[in-house]
């Protein structure tokens, strides 16, 4: 079954200890799609400005995404500028230009409105809610957010969580939104807001999955040369949700496998700048790394 992803398509300028890149194609929905496309048909719901390079449009199309709901509007494309230092675990945002994102009202076709799998990647919770209300028969809805919205649109975000199946957060966000320091307590509190399942991403420390039925913890796939972690969380979500969408149902075993696919997808993402590595990714690359990961015999 196919999946709708709402989020940003951005121009990212990033500096890491391994170099500097200007205006790379990025954004939460773009990173998500690079992994999810390996499992299912991805319908991209996003906005860019009329300064958005045409080559990026054809690139997204070439990658098999349905971009019929990618709005091109008058104005500037959303831009993010950031830097990673030291252990590359935390991004330092240097600058954000919202551009057309500030007037974004998602549009979808009637057919897209019937799709059952939805991922609301990081954008304003009001926009996430707006799209979700347009969806006619949501079956599996995932949502990601970020500290900015937790601080500035806390109420809206919490209200939205009642309609979400899987809330995806990193550990800082989970602690911040729940007010709990212990990561298990934080997950429990977030579940209390209404999301059936909570998935906490801990970067190089792996993920924690929390639901009433089971808790599952998975380490990260060890990557020695982390070049650029931008979008790792979105790539994780793309592999995870993509696999679940293809499976078409949920069981503990399917969830575990989805988490493992998310983990290996993210491990590819961080090995190069932007979408460089994940855009070249093939299903067999994922499968091969998954096999290594499963055995625990990683090299």
Positions touching its own copies (CB under 8 A) are 86-88, 175, 181-185, 188, 202, 204-206, 208, 214-220, 222-226, 252, 256, 296-299
Residue 10, classed as helix, strand or coil, is strand
Beta carbon of residue 217, minimum distance to its own copies (angstroms, whole number): 4
Residue among 28 and 269 whose Cβ is closer to its own copies? 269
Nearest to 131 by CA among 185, 201, 69, 74: 69
Contact partners, residue 125, CB within 8 Å, separation at least 6: 145, 149, 153, 156, 157, 160
Angle between helices 252-269 and 232-247 (to 10 degrees): 150
- Whole-angstrom distance, CA of residue 135 vs CA of residue 123: 17
Beta carbon of residue 185, minimum distance to its own copies (angstroms, whole number): 6
- Whole-angstrom distance, CA of residue 34 vs CA of residue 105: 23
Residue among 97 and 204 whose Cβ is closer to its own copies? 204
Residue among 1 and 91 whose Cβ is closer to its own copies? 91
- Whole-angstrom distance, CA of residue 14 vs CA of residue 115: 34
Residue among 102 and 205 whose Cβ is closer to its own copies? 205
Beta carbon of residue 285, minimum distance to its own copies (angstroms, whole number): 19
Stretch (H or E) spanning 21 = strand 19-26
Residue among 166 and 227 whose Cβ is closer to its own copies? 227
Sheet holding 91-97, edge to edge: 19-26, 10-16, 79-84, 91-97
Beta carbon of residue 14, minimum distance to its own copies (angstroms, whole number): 18
Contact partners, residue 272, CB within 8 Å, separation at least 6: 227, 228
Residue among 136 and 292 whose Cβ is closer to its own copies? 292
Residue among 94 and 298 whose Cβ is closer to its own copies? 298
Beta carbon of residue 273, minimum distance to its own copies (angstroms, whole number): 17
Beta carbon of residue 226, minimum distance to its own copies (angstroms, whole number): 6
And the tokens for 116?
Answer: 């059952």
Beta carbon of residue 174, minimum distance to its own copies (angstroms, whole number): 11
- Whole-angstrom distance, CA of residue 128 vs CA of residue 148: 15
In the 8-state DSSP scheme, what is residue 100?
G
By DSSP bridging, strand 197-201 and strand 166-170 are parallel
């Amino acid at each position: 079954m196919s999946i709708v992803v709402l989020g940003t398509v951005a121009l990212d300028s990033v500096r890491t200890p391994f170099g500097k890149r200007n205006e790379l194609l990025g954004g939460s929905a773009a990173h998500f799609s690079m992994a999810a496309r390996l499992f299912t048909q991805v319908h991209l719901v996003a906005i860019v400005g009329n300064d958005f390079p045409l080559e990026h449009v054809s690139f997204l199309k070439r990658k098999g995404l349905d971009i019929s709901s990618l709005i091109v509007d008058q104005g500037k494309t959303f831009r993010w500028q950031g830097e990673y230092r030291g252990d590359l675990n935390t991004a330092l945002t240097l600058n954000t230009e919202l551009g057309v994102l500030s007037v974004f009202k998602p549009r979808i076709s009637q057919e897209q409105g019937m799709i059952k799998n939805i991922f609301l990647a990081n954008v304003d919770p009001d926009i996430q809610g707006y799209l979700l209300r347009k969806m006619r028969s949501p079956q599996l809805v995932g949502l990601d957010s970020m500290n900015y919205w937790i601080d500035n649109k806390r109420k809206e975000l919490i209200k939205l969580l009642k309609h979400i199946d899987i809330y995806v957060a990193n550990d800082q966000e989970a602690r911040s939104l729940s007010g709990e320091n212990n990561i298990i307590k934080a997950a429990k509190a977030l579940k209390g807001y209404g999301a059936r399942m909570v998935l906490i991403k801990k970067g190089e420390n792996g993920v924690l999955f929390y639901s009433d039925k089971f808790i599952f913890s998975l380490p990260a796939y060890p990557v020695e040369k982390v070049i650029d972690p931008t979008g790792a969380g979105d790539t994780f979500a793309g592999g995870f949700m993509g696999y679940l969408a293809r499976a078409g149902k949920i069981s503990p075993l399917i969830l575990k496998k989805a988490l493992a696919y998310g983990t290996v997808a993210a491990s590819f993402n961080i090995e190069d700048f932007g979408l460089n590595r994940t855009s070249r990714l093939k299903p067999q690359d994922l499968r091969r790394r998954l096999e290594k990961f499963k055995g625990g015999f990683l090299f």
